[in-house]
Amino acid sequence: NMDPYAILKCRSQEQRSSIAAGKGTNPEWNENFVFTVSDRTTDLLIKLMDSDTGTADDFVGEATIPLEAVYSERSIPPTIYNVVKGEKYCGEIKVGLTFTPE
């Protein structure tokens, strides 16, 4: 049974979700994360991890989300992105995005 969490990386910025303890392969976070970006920031990387007590956390997979559409649309409804480990498909994650220009 997995205790998943997500690490979100946008260039040099990194944020971490809460641990969805005991939620296995169908966690829901419903959390908001704020990043400061420029138009040179091309994507958001989400690394999914399994929290383990006493040993190193396990890498589950990652999704790369292109940001070009959110810059032009200002908001992207929850959309499904593939999660891969190496080159191998291992699931999907649903993420919504909003861009607020300064």
The pLDDT tens digits of the residues spanning 15-51 come to 999 999 999 999 999 999 999 998 789 999 999 999 9
pLDDT tier at 66 (50, 70, 90 boundaries)?
A: very high
Coil, strand or helix: which one is 85? strand
Mean pLDDT for 86-91 is 95
| Res 39: pLDDT | 73
| Res 38: pLDDT | 82
pLDDT tier at 78 (50, 70, 90 boundaries)?
A: very high
Domains of the chain: 4-25+39-98 (2.60.40.150)
- Beta bridge partners, 94, equal 80
The answer, yes or no, to whether residue 102 has pLDDT greater than 90, is no
Q: 37-66 b/e with 16+ CB inside 10 Å = b? A: beeeeeebebbbbbeeeeeeeeebbbbebe
